[in-house]
Structure 1
Amino acid sequence: MAAPGAGDPLNAKNGNAPFAQRIDPSREKLTPAQLQFMRQVQLAQWQKTLPQRRTRNIMTGLGIGALVLAIYGYTFYSVAQERFLDELEDEAKAARARALERERASGP
């Protein structure tokens, strides 16, 4: 009979599956076959998460683009509003000047 956990998919004592250990390839001596297998697994994991990352990247890009367009639009709006207020102020000055001239003309 084999030892628990040695080849068994489930540990007989607590019913948990064994976890893969994290290793550092630079510290441990690995065979070329093990390194190739690690690369294959990493590539498979990367390809598995690619659609999720692509969607997230697209959503982030659209969000940033919308923010930039909103700031750009608000800037144009505020500059146009500022010009409008400047024009109103110029018209008000002209109206005051005309009123002063009328007062002087109708005065003594």
Structure 2
Amino acid sequence: MADKTPEQSDAPFAARIDPNKDDLSRDQLYFIKQVELAQWKKKTQKLRTRNVLTGVAIGALVMGIYGYTFYSVGKERIMDELDEEARRARMPKTGAN
């Protein structure tokens, strides 16, 4: 049996079945639904894992940008410079300066 090629095999090949056109029994339809459900569950588990990983990656990117923005804005002293210029503008000008 192991030395036979697929062309020489005695096993019948699976044929495509259209449940709408072929006259199938209730048990056959139930089995088809069970197989489709098992395949769907297998695919959704892979998709769920990918979606979680993608969500974590996007969340990490957003939090990184958010943190960097606060870090870079915290380093800037724009408001301090504006306050200093305003103080200088309000000071009375004397001839000693």
TM-score, normalised on structure 2? 0.57
Greater shift, 60-69 or 40-49, is seen at 40-49
Match of 2:42 in 1: 48
Q: Deviations over 1:74-104 (max 9, x none)?
A: 443455456x312222213434665x72xx3
After TM superposition, the structure 1 = structure 2 runs for residues 14-25 of structure 1, keeping only pairs within 5 Å, are: 18=13, 21=16, 24-25=18-19
Question: Cα distance 1:94–1:60, how it changes in 2: closer, same or farther (>3 A)?
Answer: same
Partner of 1:85: 78
Looking at secondary structure, tell me which structure has more helix per residue. Answer: 1
If asked which structure has higher relative contact order (CA below 8 Å, sep 6+), I would say 2
**2: CA distance, partners of 1:91 / 1:60:** 47
Q: For residues 75 and 14 of structure 2, what CA distance do their matches in structure 1 show?
A: 64
Give the superposed CA RMSD.
3.6
Q: 1:73 to 1:27 in 2, by over 3 A?
A: farther
- Structure 2: runs of 5+ lacking an equivalent: none
Answer yes or no: is 1:30 the counterpart of 2:24.
yes
Match of 1:106, SS state, is: coil
Identity across aligned pairs (percent)? 42
The alignment of Structure 1 onto Structure 2 pairs a total of residues equal to: 91
Distance 2:52 2:89 in 1: 56
Which of structure 1's runs of 4+ aligned residues deviate more than 4 A? 17-20, 26-29
**Letter aligned with residue 11 of structure 1:** E
Q: Which residue of 2 aligns with 1:39?
A: 33
Gaps of at least 5 residues in structure 1 are: 1-8
Q: How many Å separate the matches in 1 of 2:72 and 2:43?
A: 43
| Superposition TM-score, scaled by structure 1 size | 0.53
Which residue among 6, 30, 33 is the counterpart of 1:10? 6
